[in-house]
Amino acid sequence: MKKTLYFLLTKSIGSYINILIYLFPKKAIKIAHCYFSEPRKGKIESNKLPETLQKANLEIITDNDNIIQTYIWKGSETIILLIHGWESNSSRWKRMLPYLIESGSTIIAIDGPGQGLSSGKEFTVPDYAAFINIVAKKYKPHYLIGHSMGGKTSLYYHYKYQNPTLKKIVILGAPSDFTVILKNFIVLLSLNTKVTKALENKYTKILDTNLAQFASKEFVSNMETKGFLAHDIDDTIVLFKEGEKIAAQWKDVQFEITKGLGHKLHDDALYRKVSTFLFE
């Protein structure tokens, strides 16, 4: 029943946008962009923090109008920065944290734009990468771990900002091609050609590049930093072939293929491998 209602809802929204594009094109694209870029899950309330985050030291970084929420588990001078994905927040690291804390390192997690306790409404890769850069300038992490869209953003961040302090990067279940993400959204809402072209033009401007080039496989093609890349062959959110695209272009990467873990990739054996990779 829920799937049927969701199908009807998405198609109704798409039909509305398809009609509106001929009457009020700017409004139509604004609505489409909102559905594409504004998370509908992942926000939390400061008085209802998940138990995992209650154990951290909470620090806020402000930059212009941005409020970036960070969570810090203090340890040694070795810094690990955690980057969650779409419609999520820093509590998603609950299962992995014990393996990282065991190393004695200082662990820092951040809430992305419009999620957790951070400010904003839109979640875009460039905006999220800017958040990472602000935090990285302050804490100078040695290791970076990203899941899903947080993984794609982590790779884009290092590609754009070229952080010299990063020694290793761990990417879990990340998409590669932006064109695939956009196409999935267009198919979901059954958007017509006019809307599709308008959205492509909009994101070409936002991303400041050809959309085909805005891909994780491109970000890692000349990357020297050593990587650990995990992707599950049963992932229905980000298909396994996306992980293969990244692995094929990353010169120095350990590609861990899992089965039965799905998109979340919560698994003790996998986390032990991540820990070994980081601290071997």
SS3 147: strand
Domain-located, residue 25: no
CA distance 195 to 197: 6
pTM: 0.95
Nearest to 225 by CA among 160, 275, 155, 172: 155
- CATH code for position 105: 3.40.50.1820
Domain-located, residue 18: no
Domain-located, residue 23: no
Per-residue pLDDT reduced to its tens digit, 238-264: 999 999 999 999 999 999 999 999 999
User: Can you tell me which residue has the tokens 């927040």?
Assistant: 89
Task: Give me the pLDDT at residue 126, please.
Answer: 96
Per-residue pLDDT reduced to its tens digit, 8-17: 788 899 999 9
Q: Which domain holds residue 77?
A: 38-177+215-279
- Annotate 79-140 with three-state secondary structure: EEEEECCCCCCHHHHCCCHHHHHCCCCEEEEECCCCCECCCCCCCCHHHHHHHHHHHHHHHC
Domain-located, residue 5: no
Per-residue pLDDT reduced to its tens digit, 125-136: 999 999 999 999
Domain-located, residue 109: yes
Q: Give the pair of three-digit tokens for residue 177.
A: 């091609």
Residues of the chain short of pLDDT 50, as ranges, are none
Total tally of structural domains belonging to the chain:
1
Contact 193, 168 (CB under 8 A): no
